Structure 1
Amino acid sequence: MARPRQFDEDEVLRAVCDQFWDAGYAATSLQDLMRVSGLGKGSLYAAFGDKHELFLRVLRRYVASLDRAVRRSIDSAPSALEGLRSFVMMPVGDPEGVAARRGCLLANSTTELAAADPAVATEARQAYERTTAVLAEAVRRAQDAGDLSATTDPVGTARALLAAQQGLTFMGRTGMDVATLEATARSLADQLVPT
């Protein structure tokens, strides 16, 4: 008879996610994972598989949370246009710049691993396509409200917004000051979805 798990799976996955997010995949060792999870090697492997399987599980969990956050942000804005603008501003959302410095786990992982890891490339591609679909839907709503021109290409605009937002994420990782990032984000929003 199998023994019941003696740990909180959500807590372990959050700790492991933070480790991968802060250090990256390659720089995270098995010892790091054991330290942050509080689990021994055997327990870690039995519960989550090897390092790669654990990473993919954490990445998928993060992406699901990100998908919900993007949709919630867009849908809770006073208008579709404001939701699109707030999406561009996401990397500079906190005044201390913690989010900008840390970046996005998906973007960080894509940069580090996608060229050599087909599973990460697939996860990233699917995540970005889902985000594009949410943004394109918001562009269409902004068009219906008369806030964007009827000739605006919803999918093209959505991809441009995503590229702009991800570009800000990458710029934030360089240590660029938050005021400059915020000014850049506003400029991008003004050009892509003018009010």
Structure 2
Amino acid sequence: MSTGRPIEYDREHSLQKALELFWRNGYKGTNLKDLCDETGLSKSSLYSVFGDKHQVFLLSIQSYSDALLDELRLQYQSSESPLRFIEKVLLDLADEASPGKDRKGCLVMNSATEFAQTDPQVAKIVGNTLRKMASIFENAVSSGKESSDINKNVEPHSTALFLVNSIAGMKTMVKAGHPKKELLEIAKSVMKHL
């Protein structure tokens, strides 16, 4: 007799489905019926497993943020140099503007523009994500300065903030439909500062 999938699998699978829905439609563009249809959960199961729509949204943003930061750390650790790591992040981002690519943008940045001024819980997740991104870049810049891979005159903390700001702007431009050529120009300009 089969016991079915483990509850944790169902929860993670359903959370991933909810995340994708919020990422596509935004919070305001997603209703409870959409969440139930996408996750395969009934309304009562959705509330039992996650709580209300807002809680599902917060869990989705946090899950996305965790995956984003894990990927950024992995890219840094596996890069041949700090400078190549930063360049790859920027070029990968510019590649998101290629024809035929899905231009959903970044769920963290999308949530910041939709809610960060009005929802302290969203603002906290967004703020923590941006601070952790800046910390990864600050470590890369510091390491790059030590190895002479990055200009010794750049200040790691402010350069990291500049990189996060540039990435946020580039992600917004990708979502707004700017061509890859423009994103590559921005990436090239950012790299000149290093």
Report what 2:101 is aligned to.
98
After TM superposition, list the pairs within 5 Å mapping 1:1-195 onto structure 2: 5=7, 8-94=10-96, 95-96=98-99, 98=101, 101-189=103-191, 191-193=192-194
After the TM superposition, which of the residue ranges 90-99 and 28-37 deviates more from structure 2? Answer: 90-99
- Measured against aligned partners, the alpha-carbon deviations of 1:18-63 in whole angstroms (never above 9, x if no partner) come to 1000000111000110110111100100000000111111111111
Question: How far, CA to CA, are the matches of 2:49 and 2:60 in structure 1?
Answer: 13
Counterpart secondary structure, 2:126: helix
Question: How far, CA to CA, are the matches of 1:188 and 1:157 in structure 2?
Answer: 10
Question: How far, CA to CA, are the matches of 2:53 and 2:171 in structure 1?
Answer: 26
Instruction: After TM superposition, give the deviation of residue 96 of structure 1 in Å.
Output: 3.8
Question: How far, CA to CA, are the matches of 1:76 and 1:6 in structure 2?
Answer: 30
Instruction: After TM superposition, give the deviation of residue 7 of structure 1 in Å.
Output: 7.0
Instruction: After TM superposition, give the deviation of residue 84 of structure 1 in Å.
Output: 1.6
Q: TM-score, normalised by structure 2?
A: 0.90
Instruction: After TM superposition, give the deviation of residue 5 of structure 1 in Å.
Output: 4.6
Counterpart secondary structure, 2:188: helix
Matched length: 188
After the TM superposition, which of the residue ranges 90-99 and 140-149 deviates more from structure 2? Answer: 90-99
Instruction: After TM superposition, give the deviation of residue 6 of structure 1 in Å.
Output: 10
Unaligned segments of structure 2, at least 5 residues: 1-5
Q: TM-score, normalised by structure 1?
A: 0.90
- Measured against aligned partners, the alpha-carbon deviations of 1:114-153 in whole angstroms (never above 9, x if no partner) come to 0100001111111111111110000011001112233311
Counterpart secondary structure, 2:47: helix
